[in-house]
Amino acid sequence: MPEAVITADRLVKAYRSKGKPDFVAVDGLSFEVAPGESFGLLGPNGAGKSTTMKMIGAVSTRTGGDLRILGLDPDQYGPEIRSRLGVVPQQDNLDGELNARENLYIYGRYFGLPGKVCHQKADELLAFAQLEDKAKSKVDQLSGGMKRRLTIARGLINDPRILLLDEPTTGLDPQARHVLWDRLFRLKERGTTLVLTTHYMDEAEQLCDRLIVVDKGRIMAEGTPASLIRQHSSREVLEVRFGSDRNEQVAPRLEAVGDRVEVLPDRILIYTADGEAALERITAEGLEPLTSLVRRSSLEDVFLRLTGRSLIE
Amino acid sequence: MSTPHRGGEDERMPRGGAAVSSSPSLDELRAEAMQWGRAPRARGTWYVTEHMVRAMRAYGWTIVVGAVGQPILYLLGLAVGLAALIQAPIDDGGVEVSYLVFVAPALLMTAAIAVASEEFSYPVVAGFKWRRYFFGFNASPLSPGQIAGGVTAGGSARMLFAVLAYYLFIWVFGAVPDPATGWLSIFVGLLGGLAFGVPYMAYAASIQDDKGQFALVQRFIFMPMFLFSGTFYPLAALPLWLQWIGWVSPLWHATELGRILTYGKPADPIGIVIHLAYLVVLSVGAFLIARRIFERRLSA
Contacts of A107 in chain B (CB under 8 A): 136, 140
Question: Inter-chain contact A95–B51, Cβ cutoff 8 Å?
Answer: yes
CA angle B288, B282, B162 (to 5 degrees): 105
Question: Inter-chain contact B32–A109, Cβ cutoff 8 Å?
Answer: no
Q: Give the nearest partner residue to A102 out of B29, B39, B54, using CB atoms.
A: B54
- Average pLDDT for chain A: 90
How many angstroms separate the CA of residue B168 from the nearest CA in chain A?
Answer: 30
- Average pLDDT for chain B: 89
Question: Inter-chain contact B25–A91, Cβ cutoff 8 Å?
Answer: no
Share of chain B above pLDDT 70, in %: 93
How far is residue B84's CA from residue B226's CA, in Å, rounded to a whole number? 22
Give the DSSP H/E element, type plus range, for residue A236.
strand A236-241
3-state SS assignment for residue B31: helix
Q: How many CB atoms lie within 10 A of CB B241?
A: 7
What is the structure's pLDDT at A311?
Answer: 58
What is the structure's pLDDT at B3?
Answer: 41
Whether A270 and A240 have beta carbons less than 8 Å apart is answered as yes
How far is residue A138's CA from residue B178's CA, in Å, rounded to a whole number? 47
Backbone angles phi, psi at A261, to 5 degrees: -125, 135
Which of A18-22, A230-234, A274-278, B86-90 has the weakest average pLDDT? A18-22
Q: Using a CB–CB cutoff of 8 Å, tell me whether B212 touches chain A.
A: no
How many angstroms separate the CA of residue A81 from the nearest CA in chain B?
Answer: 6
Q: How many CB atoms lie within 10 A of CB B281?
A: 11
Contacts of B47 in chain A (CB under 8 A): 109-110, 112
How far is residue B30's CA from residue A6's CA, in Å, rounded to a whole number? 12
Average of pLDDT values for B153-161? 96
For residue A240, which of A273, A215, A262 has the smallest C-alpha distance? A262
Which of A9-13, A187-191, B179-183, B290-294 has the weakest average pLDDT? A187-191
pLDDT > 80? residue B40: yes
Q: How many CB atoms lie within 10 A of CB A157?
A: 26
Q: Could you tell me how many CB contacts below 8 A there are between chain A and chain B?
A: 154
Q: How many CB atoms lie within 10 A of CB B180?
A: 9
How many angstroms separate the CA of residue B286 from the nearest CA in chain A?
Answer: 24
pLDDT > 80? residue B37: yes
How far is residue B57's CA from residue B156's CA, in Å, rounded to a whole number? 15
3-state SS assignment for residue A76: helix
**Cα A213 to chain centroid, rounded:** 10
Question: Inter-chain contact B39–A112, Cβ cutoff 8 Å?
Answer: yes
3-state SS assignment for residue A212: strand
Whether B98 and B90 have beta carbons less than 8 Å apart is answered as yes
Average of pLDDT values for B99-115? 94
More confident residue, A89 or A200: A89
What is the structure's pLDDT at B21?
Answer: 53
User: How is B64-121 classified by DSSP, letter by letter?
Assistant: HHHHHHHHHHHHIIIIIIIHHH--SPEEETTEEE-HHHHHHHHHHHHHHHHHHHHHTT
Q: Give the nearest partner residue to B141 out of A15, A60, A79, using CB atoms.
A: A79
Which of A31-40, A103-112, A301-310, B203-212 has the weakest average pLDDT? A301-310
pLDDT > 70? residue B16: no
3-state SS assignment for residue A9: strand
Q: How many CB atoms lie within 10 A of CB A82?
A: 29
Instruction: Name the region of B230 (left: φ>0; alpha: ψ -120 to 50; beta: rest).
Output: left
Q: Using a CB–CB cutoff of 8 Å, tell me whether B37 touches chain A.
A: yes
What is the structure's pLDDT at A76?
Answer: 96
How far is residue B294's CA from residue B300's CA, in Å, rounded to a whole number? 10
Assembly ipTM: 0.86
Q: Using a CB–CB cutoff of 8 Å, tell me whether B296 touches chain A.
A: no
- The dihedral sign for the CA sequence B210, B215, B221, B225: positive
Instruction: List B residues 100-139 in contact with A (Cβ-Cβ < 8 A).
Output: 131-139
Question: Inter-chain contact A5–B38, Cβ cutoff 8 Å?
Answer: no
Contacts of B40 in chain A (CB under 8 A): 79, 83, 110-112
How far is residue A117's CA from residue B142's CA, in Å, rounded to a whole number? 19
What is the structure's pLDDT at B129?
Answer: 93
Q: Give the pTM.
A: 0.89
Alpha helices in chain B (DSSP H): 9-12, 26-56, 60-75, 83-85, 99-119, 122-125, 133-139, 144-172, 179-182, 185-206, 213-217, 223-227, 240-248, 250-263, 269-298
Whether B197 and B227 have beta carbons less than 8 Å apart is answered as no
Average of pLDDT values for A211-218? 91
Contacts of A81 in chain B (CB under 8 A): 33, 37
3-state SS assignment for residue B151: helix
Say how many Å lie between the first and final Cα of chain A, rounded: 39
Q: Give the nearest partner residue to A97 out of B27, B40, B58, using CB atoms.
A: B58
What is the structure's pLDDT at A189?
Answer: 86
How far is residue B124's CA from residue B118's CA, in Å, rounded to a whole number? 10
To the nearest 10 degrees (0 to 180), the angle between helices A100-110 and A115-128 is 130
Inter-CA distances, A308 with A243, A300, B46, Å:
21, 11, 51
Q: Using a CB–CB cutoff of 8 Å, tell me whether B60 touches chain A.
A: no
